[in-house]
Amino acid sequence: MNNVVLKIMNLKGEYILNMVGRYFVWVILIYYISIFMHELGHYLTSRLMGIRLNLFVVGPIKYINDNNKKALKFRFSGSLISGGFILPEINNEIEDKSKFYLYTNKYINILYGGPIFTFITIAMSSLFIIENKFTSVSMIFLIINWSIFINIFSVSINVYGDYCLIDLLKRKPERTILMLSTQFASEYPINKFIFEEAEEVVDRVLSKGEYNNMILVLINRIIDYKIINGQNLSVQCDKFKEWIFNYYFNSLRGNIFNDAKFIKVAYKILLHEYSITKNKPILDNYEKFDKFLTLNSYNNNKYLLDVHENLKDLYIRGKGFNIKFSKYVCDVGQIFSECKNYNKMLNDIINKL
């Protein structure tokens, strides 16, 4: 009798595990279908606006249009691996002020496309539930898409929701350039107008003491071009550099999530300094960087340990640039590793080091 009861309990346990596993698979599948529908809205709107996409990403799947060579690739790590995004072309679209503002209006319309498709998915899921059809699946679709729709209105450390971007660009259309930093790598070299516009916006924002994540990412891309062209930083970027090394790095912080974005810019600034003075490297800022990482015990983090070792090779050991650290030079490598323009930019930076 006990054996029979035990078998029944085991069968029930197996059945519950089976059901949980099945629902888990369904949830993951529906989640990525929902992300795909959202990004499809952006894609179709971009087609209506006449703007070509160079990249379409949904989770681990990325579709690349690299110099008219199209490819479907897979990735299993990197930014937004659980989400999706698109990358509209800019080099042939923005050539002067009038085209820049025209592009901004088109970009705002593209941003509307995702939320519209998410809302359509919500409406269809609700209709199926009302009609009592595919109830379980429709309920999962409804919950997931409502969460996506709510996130459209939110801002996190690294990601702005679509509505937040729309609101920002309607109020400050010149800040469209902040959304386009990734294209500095994917469409390398970007045209002169875009670069000068980016520098102008960055200088204006830095002069107000705004150091948000979008600005820091764009500064990184600008410094890439400064290294390649052997140019000095702008006055405002120089002031920002002084603020990082003489103020920010002059205290114990200990919040790696906040500190990492400044460390990443400081690393790029030090690469730029080295590229300008490599015959006789100036150690002052490097020593402040070294002290900051040591005080906060950040050398336990693999990324921070590697960039620290990279800088030691350059500033202390005199070994020159070690190619194994190239993946840290430009932080879009996990997405654009197959992109010719990105690889050309990376090679041009390394050749200057």
- Reported as a single tens digit per residue, the pLDDT across 67-89 is 777 777 877 766 667 788 899 99
For residue 173, being part of any structural domain is answered with: no
Query: What is the C-alpha to C-alpha distance for residues 279 and 111, in angstroms, rounded to an integer?
Result: 47
Q: Are residues 162 and 241 in the same domain?
A: no
Is pLDDT above 80 for 307?
yes
Position 254 pLDDT exceeds 70: no
Residues 66, 54 contacting (CB under 8 angstroms): yes
Asked whether residue 297 falls in the same domain as residue 207, the answer is yes
Q: Is the same domain home to 21 and 128?
A: yes
pLDDT for the residue 245 = 93
Instruction: Provide the pLDDT confidence category of residue 167 given band limits of 50, 70 and 90.
Output: very high
Domain stop point among 168, 203, 230: 168
Q: What is the pLDDT of residue 141?
A: 93
Whether residues 149 and 216 share a domain: the answer is no
Where among 109, 139, 168 does a domain terminate?
168
Mean pLDDT for 131-150 is 89
For the stretch 7-43, pLDDT in tens is 555 556 665 667 777 778 888 999 999 999 999 999 9
Residues 46 and 86 grouped into a single domain: yes
Q: Can you give the residue range of the structural domain that contains 281? A: 182-351
Per the structure, how many domains does the chain have? 2
Contact 312/304 with Cβ under 8 angstroms?
no
Give the model's pLDDT for residue 270.
96
| Phi, psi of 316, rounded to the nearest 5 degrees | -105, -50
Is the domain of 128 the same as that of 189? no
Q: What is the pLDDT of residue 143?
A: 92
Residue 323 confidence (pLDDT) above 80: yes
In a domain, 176, yes or no: no
